[in-house]
């Protein structure tokens, strides 16, 4: 982004404070443009003819330093790039690293379909959402355009995830494009030998393309300049991912250099970057070591500026950390992580259902809530205001106390005596030491649940309803 204060953006806005954008004033809207929480098109008056020049100018000023490239079509399409900063705390990182997993055209058909389905279906619940994988990379191993095209076709028939078509042979890429031309796949890749033909394909089919120049940033840059001159800026840069030793360190340096130059204003190289952690399989011989090393490389380049990556292992012990580190780095550091303190209903609780106490830390709340909901437990779940601190830390730090729990009950308007038949509260196992105090403060019966909410359903079977005293 070429400007960094709301005042600079304000100058281009209509200045009528009409409120169409949902903000009270144009100045307030300008501030949202600068922190990228609103889009310029939210200001509908700007779309009028008389503002068209200002709209265009402001759009150019607000454009992220790193170009945004879209791959795929429809709901599953991914956007990559789009970043403005080198450190996430300075703003946030936009457009999470897209994770692609490979298939190849010599796979037996049933294995191919099974693998694609696994990639498509993999999901992990986390803080109110599912973490999922993004793309399928189809590699040509056969060197046979027809075989490649058939494979691409099969993949498209199995998943709507965006594709990367991988071959250095323009004939092969063309065959793949013919079957995938409506899917906006990413081409992988143009290099210093084939660039002319691959550029023609990228332009003819209007698809994004990866430029591959292993450990040679001069060539990478001149390829990018050439492609831009020929008419496409839908580019992804691959400086090579070398999986070990000094070469891996060089790879790391190359990623830093490309992104630093881009963010600092070198438009010629301000494109998304691709990492290929799959190369780990060239240096590790057993599957576990290779999956580990691949995950290690993927983690480095998720943190340091990789925008799209191709991996091979689809073992859950590799996928889970890959998904979580991506989420970690791309979580917006500006957004709150607590839920509204309140009495929540899980399922359809009635007067006989248990009343469970937890905290309003989003991670805690969603973990507990999903543990309960997925086992179809009906209950009341009480998110006590602990200033967004989890159970164990809140007990240790004094944000979860008997007095807080009592106050939470009063504030919610829930009446344990009248609204339940049992007048009982269940505490988290990690808050066991509050049991006596809570009994004294609330006059209710207090039970202590398991330490981990994952064990609540089993605990409930044994302990609920509570035996009459």
Partner 1 sequence: KFEVASVKNWTNPIQEVTLGATSGDGGSRKSTITLGGENALPYYFDAEMPHRNYITMDVFDMPIGMAKAVKSNYDDVINDPAEWAKKVVRDFNADMVTIHLISTDPLIKDTSARDAAKVVEDVLQAVDVPIVIGGSGNPQKDPEVLEKAAEAAAGERVLLASASLNLDYERIAKAAINNGHVVLSWTQLEINAQKELNRKLMKQCNVPRDSIIMDPTTAALGYGLDYAYSNMERIRLAGLMGDDELTFPMSSGTTNAWGAREAWMVSSPLAQDSEWGPREYRGPIWEIVTGLALSLAGNDMFMMMHPTSVQVLKEITQTLYG
Q: Where is the binding site for 5-methoxybenzimidazolylcob(I)amide, in residues?
A: 358, 364, 388-391, 453
Place of tokens 């940033």: 217
Q: How far apart are CB 408 and partner 1 at their closest, in Å?
A: 23
**9 near ligand SF4 (CB under 6 A):** no
| 358 binds ligand B12, rule: CB under 6 A | yes
Residue 282 interacts with ligand SF4 (CB under 6 A): yes or no: no
Give the interface with partner 1 as residue ranges (CB under 8 A): 87-89, 121-126, 130, 217-218, 220-221, 244-246, 248-249, 252-253, 256-257, 260-261, 264, 266, 269, 288, 291-293, 295-296, 299-300, 303-304, 315-318, 320-321, 324-325, 327-329, 331, 333, 363, 370-371, 374-375, 452-455, 457
Asked if residue 273 has a cis previous peptide bond (ω within 30° of 0), the answer is: no
**DSSP, res 281:** G
Site string for ligand B12, 192-231 (x = CB under 6 A): ----------------------------------------
Query: Residues 112, 207, 356, 444: which binds ligand B12 (CB under 6 A)?
Result: 356
Is residue 58 within the footprint of ligand SF4 (CB under 6 A)?
A: no
Per CB under 6 A, 239 contacts ligand B12: no
- Phi, psi for 344 (deg, rounded to 5): -105, 150
In the complex, minimum distance from the CB of residue 95 to ligand SF4, in angstroms, rounded to a whole number:
25
Min CB(123)–partner 1 separation in Å:
6
Cα 118–chain centre separation: 19
**DSSP letters for 71-139:** ES-GGG-EEEE----SSGGGS---SPPEEEEEEETTS-HHHHHHHHHHHHH-EEEETTEEEE--EEEEE
How, if at all, do strands 379-384 and 355-359 pair?
parallel
The answer to whether residue 64 forms part of the interface with ligand B12 (CB under 6 A) is no
Q: Annotated binding site: which residue ranges?
A: 18, 21, 26, 43, 358, 364, 388-391, 453
- The neighbour count for residue 410, using CB atoms within 10 Å, is 10
Q: Is 26 in the site for ligand SF4 (CB under 6 A)?
A: yes
Which residue from 431, 433, 434, 429 is spatially nearest to 455, judged by alpha carbons? 429
Q: Where does residue 182 rank: exposed (0-12), middle (13-18), buried (19+ CB within 10 A)?
A: exposed
Nearest-angstrom CA–CA distance, 4 and 61: 10
Task: Specify the stretch interacting with ligand SF4 by CB under 6 A; choose among 16-24, 160-168, 282-290, 371-379.
Answer: 16-24
Distance CA 159, CA 175 (A): 19
- Closer CB to partner 1, residue 149 or residue 400? 400
Long-range contacts of 321-324 (CB under 8 A, 24+ apart): 321/295, 322/99, 322/295, 322/298, 323/99, 323/124, 323/131, 323/132, 323/133, 324/126, 324/131
Considering the rule CB under 6 A, would residue 12 count as an interface residue with ligand SF4? no
Residues that bind ligand SF4 (CB under 6 A): 13-14, 16-21, 23, 26, 29, 43, 45
Residues that bind ligand B12 (CB under 6 A): 356-359, 361, 363-364, 367-368, 388-394, 396-397, 399, 426, 428-430, 449-450, 452-453, 456
């Amino acid at each position: 982004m070429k400007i960094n204060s709301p005042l600079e953006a304000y100058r281009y806005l209509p200045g009528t404070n009409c409120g169409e954008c949902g903000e009270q004033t144009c100045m307030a809207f300008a501030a949202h443009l600068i922190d990228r929480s609103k889009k310029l098109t939210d200001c509908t008056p700007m779309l009028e003819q008389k503002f068209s020049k200002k709209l265009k100018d402001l759009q150019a000023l607000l454009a992220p330093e790193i170009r945004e490239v879209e791959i795929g079509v429809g709901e599953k399409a991914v956007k990559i790039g789009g970043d403005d900063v080198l450190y996430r705390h300075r703003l946030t990182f936009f457009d999470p690293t897209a994770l692609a997993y490979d298939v190849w055209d010599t796979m037996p058909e049933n294995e191919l379909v099974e693998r694609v389905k696994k990639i498509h279906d993999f999901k992990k619940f986390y803080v109110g959402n599912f973490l999922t994988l993004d793309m399928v990379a189809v590699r040509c191993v056969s060197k046979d355009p027809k075989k490649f095209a058939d494979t691409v076709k099969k993949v498209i028939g199995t998943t709507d995830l965006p594709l990367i078509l991988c071959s250095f042979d323009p004939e092969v890429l063309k065959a793949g494009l013919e079957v995938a031309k409506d899917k906006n796949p990413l081409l992988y890749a143009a290099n210093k030998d084939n660039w002319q033909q691959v550029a023609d394909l990228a332009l003819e089919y209007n698809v994004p393309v990866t430029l591959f120049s292993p450990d040679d940033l001069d060539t990478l840059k001149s390829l990018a300049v050439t492609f831009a001159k020929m008419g496409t800026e839908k580019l992804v840069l691959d400086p090579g991912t070398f999986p070990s030793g000094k070469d891996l360190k060089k790879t790391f340096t190359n990623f830093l250099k490309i992104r630093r130059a881009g963010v600092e204003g070198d438009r010629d190289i301000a494109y998304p970057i691709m990492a290929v952690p799959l190369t780990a399989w060239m240096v590790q011989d057993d599957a576990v070591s290779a999956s580990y090393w691949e995950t290690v490389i993927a983690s480095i380049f998720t943190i340091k500026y990789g925008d799209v990556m191709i991996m091979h292992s689809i073992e859950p012990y590799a996928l889970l950390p890959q998904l979580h580190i991506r989420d970690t780095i791309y979580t917006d550091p500006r957004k709150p992580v607590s839920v509204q303190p309140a009495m929540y209903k899980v399922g359809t609780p009635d007067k006989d259902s248990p009343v469970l106490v937890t905290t309003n830390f989003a991670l805690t709340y969603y973990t507990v809530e999903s543990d309960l909901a997925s086992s179809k437990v009906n209950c009341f779940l009480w998110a006590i205001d602990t200033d967004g601190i989890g159970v164990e830390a809140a007990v240790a730090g004094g944000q979860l106390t008997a007095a807080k729990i009592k106050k939470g009950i009063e504030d919610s308007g829930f009446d344990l005596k009248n609204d339940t038949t049992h007048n009982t509260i269940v505490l988290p196992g990690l808050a066991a030491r509050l049991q006596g105090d809570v009994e004294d403060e609330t006059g209710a019966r207090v039970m202590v649940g398991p330490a981990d909410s994952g064990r609540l359903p089993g605990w409930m079977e044994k302990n609920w309803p509570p035996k009459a005293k």
